[in-house]
């Protein structure tokens, strides 16, 4: 292989290195919750959002990255935000003044307890004659009714 062909491979190698390092950066990012405590004074929604954005701007490389990584600002009950961060960015944020804690969001930590209410209630066979009489007929004796509860409140 001559010197000219080796030089022509250099841009290809640089491109491959950039793509693999960028993909590993994006692979390790996940959602973190950054808790900042209570609101100190009455702030507008825009001021709170701006504060959250400024925290991200201090650990991100650009304004665009900070804007894209902010997923949600908690503005009412608590002061904090959810953001897509690398472990290093989360660690740097957690050491900043004004940040109480930073922890990864674990949406798979909780799971549904049932998708079949009859089995959950121990009524695999359905209603018996006596139970059926107590069920209102205008409610079609409870057939084709789905009851569900989705609670995403704070712990």
- What pLDDT, in 10s, does the model give residues 80-117? 999 999 999 999 999 999 999 999 987 665 555 555 55
More confident residue, 135 or 69: 69
The whole-number pLDDT of residue 110 equals 58
Tokens of 88: 């290093």
Which segments of the chain belong to CATH 3.30.70.80?
Answer: 28-109
89 contacts 75 by C-beta, under 8 angstroms: no
Query: Does residue 20 surpass a pLDDT of 60?
Result: no
Half-sphere exposure of 4 (CA within 13 A, CB side): 0
Burial 110-125 (b: 16+ CB within 10 A, else e): eeeeeeeeeeeeeeee
The mean pLDDT of 56-75, rounded to a whole number, is: 92
- pLDDT value at 38 more than 50: yes
pLDDT of residue 132: 60
pLDDT of 63 over the 70 cut = yes
The domain at 28-109 falls in which architecture? 2-Layer Sandwich (3.30)
Say if CB 36 and CB 83 are below 8 A apart.
Answer: no
Q: Which of the listed ranges 31-45, 58-72, 111-125 does the model predict with the highest average pLDDT?
A: 58-72
Work out the widest C-alpha separation in the chain, in whole angstroms: 92
Segment 45-65 shows an average pLDDT of: 91
For residue 54, what pLDDT is reported? 93
Distance CA 121, CA 143 (A): 15
Q: Considering the chain, what is the average pLDDT of its residues?
A: 76
The 3-state DSSP class for residue 113 equals coil
Q: Are strands 80-85 and 30-35 parallel, antiparallel or unpaired?
A: antiparallel
- In this prediction, residues 39-53 reach a mean pLDDT of 86
- What's residue 28's pLDDT? 81
- Measuring CA to CA, which residue among 143, 151, 28, 13 is closest to residue 84? 28
């Amino acid at each position: 292989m001559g010197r000219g062909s080796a030089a022509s491979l250099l841009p290809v190698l640089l491109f491959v290195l950039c793509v693999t390092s960028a993909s590993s950066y994006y692979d390790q990012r996940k959602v973190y919750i950054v808790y900042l405590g209570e609101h100190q004074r009455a702030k507008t929604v825009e001021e709170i959002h701006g504060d959250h954005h400024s925290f991200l701007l201090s650990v991100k490389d650009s304004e665009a990255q900070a804007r894209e990584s902010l997923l949600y600002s908690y503005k009412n009950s608590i002061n904090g935000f959810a953001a897509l961060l690398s472990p290093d960015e989360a660690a740097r944020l957690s050491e900043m003044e004004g940040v109480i804690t930073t922890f990864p969001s674990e949406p798979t930590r909780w799971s549904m307890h049932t998708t079949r209410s009859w089995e959950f209630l121990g009524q695999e066979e359905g209603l018996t004659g006596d139970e059926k009489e107590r069920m209102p007929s205008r409610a079609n004796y409870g057939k084709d009714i789905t009851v569900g509860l989705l609670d995403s409140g704070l712990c």
